[in-house]
Chain A
Amino acid sequence: EAGVTQFPSHSVIEKGQTVTLRCDPISGHDNLYWYRRVMGKEIKFLLHFVKESKQDESGMPNNRFLAERTGGTYSTLKVQPAELEDSGVYFCASSQTGTHVFGPGTRLTVT
């Protein structure tokens, strides 16, 4: 089966610009998560979808971040406007029960 895919793999933007990250989960996985790793620190939870519904968005840093999962398939994470501290690697993961399958991540650099 195809794994979790993310696009783009890298993005370099200037402070104040907008970036949209995309995640395609494994087909049939109802659970979709976004995580972020900043500067070699721990991987931190951002939010969790069950199908198209937001189950838990307690990790979203602020209202500059907007996540959607229309139709319960792929998900997008938009950062608008981007700030320097948003730089990091954004991982998407999907699961049907407990074990997360992670995508390769999007490395976001805000200059």
Chain B
Amino acid sequence: GQSLEQPSEVTAVEGAIVQINCTYQTSGFYGLSWYQQHDGGAPTFLSYNGLDGLEETGRFSSFLSRSDSYGYLLLQELQMKDSASYFCADNLIYNQGGKLIFGQGTELSVKP
């Protein structure tokens, strides 16, 4: 089976850096995706790691270490609008349209 663990809540202040960790136990792990969800709305894609290492997209970076079954999402220069839920997900068979297996989500609160 598959399971992904991430903290339920994280709080940080505006302008700071926050890291949201994700550990996984999956059979047939393929790659790690990150999605953002505001106020229960549509989850939106942030980043994907198919290989070990760091992927950077503007203020957001994501990291994967397959040997440690671990990844993280790094948010820099936090803004109030970054307050949202963040989900890591195992993207089964990424290039063939595979389904997503999600973690339980991390609620990020950004304070002034």
**Residues on A facing B (Cβ under 8 Å):** 3-4, 30-31, 33, 35, 40-45, 48, 50, 56, 59, 89, 91, 95-105, 107
Besides A99-B33, A100-B100, A105-B40, 8 new A-B residue pairs in contact (Cβ under 8 A), listed by A number: A33-B99, A43-B87, A43-B105, A50-B97, A89-B40, A98-B91, A102-B42, A105-B42
Given A42-B104, A45-B101, A97-B95, do A104 and B42 touch, yes or no (CB 8 Å)? Answer: yes
Of the listed stretches B12-20, B43-51, B70-78, name the one at the interface; the rest are far from the partner chain.
B43-51
Would you call A103 and B42 a contact (CB within 8 A)?
yes
Min CB distance B30 to A, Å, is 9
Residues of A within 8 A of B105 (CB): 40, 42-43
Residues of A within 8 A of B102 (CB): 42-44
Given A43-B87, A99-B48, A100-B45, do A31 and B97 touch, yes or no (CB 8 Å)? Answer: yes
Q: Which of A31, A56, A101 contacts B45 (CB 8 A)?
A: A101
Closest to A50 in B: B97
Closest to B91 in A: A98
Min CB distance B97 to A, Å, is 4
Residues of B within 8 A of A107 (CB): 40
Per DSSP, chain B at the interface is mixed
Min CB distance B48 to A, Å, is 7
Would you call B48 and A56 a contact (CB within 8 A)?
no
How far, in angstroms, from A56 to B93 measured CA to CA in the complex? Answer: 13
Scoring B residues 75 to 112 as 1 if CB is less than 8 Å from chain A, else 0, what string do you get? 00000000000010001001111111111110000000
Min CB distance B24 to A, Å, is 13
Q: Which of A48, A50, A102 contacts B44 (CB 8 A)?
A: A102
Residues of A within 8 A of B41 (CB): 104-105
